[in-house]
Amino acid sequence: MANKKAPIDFQALLDEVNSDFPVYQALDQDGKVVNEDLIPDLSDDELVELMTKMVWSRVLDQRSTALNRQGRLGFFAPTAGQEASQLASAFAFDKEDVLLPGYRDVPQLVQHGLPLTQAFLWSRGHVAGNLYPEELKALPPQIIIGAQYVQAAGVALGLKKRNKKNVVFTYTGDGGSSQGDFYEAINFAGAYHANAVFYIQNNGFAISTPREKQTAAKTLAQKAVAAGIPGIQVDGMDPLAVYTVSKMARDWAISGKGPVLIETLTYRYGPHTLSGDDPTRYRSKEMDGEWQKKDPLIRFRNYLVEKGLWSEEKEEQVIEQTKEEIKAAIAEADKVPKQKVSDFLKNMFEEAPQTIKEQIAIYEAKESK
């Protein structure tokens, strides 16, 4: 009996799903243009401003690491390597757009308007680090993996219902895309065509778990398909491609067409956080070396030098200015009064019940000695 042909070819279905997610790139790793269509319409001053922000972020990473090791900073998640993914994406949004960051997204938050002193206080776990200026359109960084996505979906729907021509933009890592909150958020935002741009910063590892062990999906961008929204992969070490894709996604979202999911292919040169992670246990020197060749600062620097817009002297000036800014901010943070147990108790309720009032009195008495 002849073999009967299967009526459904599941492999063909899978191949079709996996075939539509190219990686968009404007500059190669040497800073040469490979796709003119993705070169954004930015002025020379804007290009220099973007490079300045990226250099600022690299210095902030280096100084924050040193401050942490000195015991002057608390929790810190290194950002070196992700400057294009973080700063070039944020550069595409307006100050009235709402940023919902994760714990690695402090550079975007500061550039969006958070005073650096408060960012340092947040790292120390001080409540003052969460008391944002009213004009700052942002929430404090989420420590819970993926929780900012759910918050973003709600804020984005609020913007839509109030007919605001602004968007929410939010970030998670590749590990975050394996969380339930991730799926719930993109599904909710997609169903309501909410004004949101979701980023997955795919730096290859969820702490030490490689991306390929987290999911069978060939890309993380294709997870957008299930939510009925556009998903796109972009070279996350290429600031111009990241900016262009981000700008187009923002325009799409504010036009009422709904959210966009952007996967940026990037890399973190340091550990997951400075709280005990050792990347040498799960990453090889060869892997680090390959990604060092793709460094976003080198790539963008080469591009700007070729255009006559950047120089070693200018970069040194930015580095020194940033160091002075950080020095002043950490000194200001040092002046903020330390937190007391009585303060924690006072912050628990708007109207403290009798039991809490009694505890406040006990601790105030201890603290006054």
Which residues neighbour 271 within 8 Å (Cβ) at sequence distance 6 or greater? 78, 277, 278, 279
Pairing mode of beta strands 231-235, 23-24: parallel
C-beta of residue 196 within 8 angstroms of C-beta of residue 159: no
Residue with tokens 């490979």: 34
If we measure between CA atoms, which residue out of 100, 146, 144, 141 comes closest to residue 122?
Answer: 141
Annotation marks residue 272 as catalytic: yes
Q: Which of 63, 272, 299, 301 is catalytic?
A: 272
Taking residue 256's Cβ as centre, other Cβ atoms within 10 Å add up to: 12
Annotation marks residue 199 as catalytic: no
The CA-based dihedral angle spanning residues 340, 346, 348, 354, taken in that order and rounded to the nearest 10 degrees:
130
End-to-end alpha-carbon separation of the chain, Å?
Answer: 95
If we measure between CA atoms, which residue out of 309, 320, 328 comes closest to residue 31?
Answer: 309
CA distances from 168 to 47, 253, 259 (A): 24, 9, 9
Q: Which of 58, 250, 268, 299 is catalytic?
A: 268
Annotation marks residue 183 as catalytic: no
Q: Alpha-carbon distance 365 to 117, whole Å? A: 31
Q: Which of 132, 192, 282, 363 is catalytic?
A: 282
Q: Alpha-carbon distance 210 to 311, whole Å? A: 37
Give the residue numbers annotated as catalytic, written as ranges: 268, 272, 282
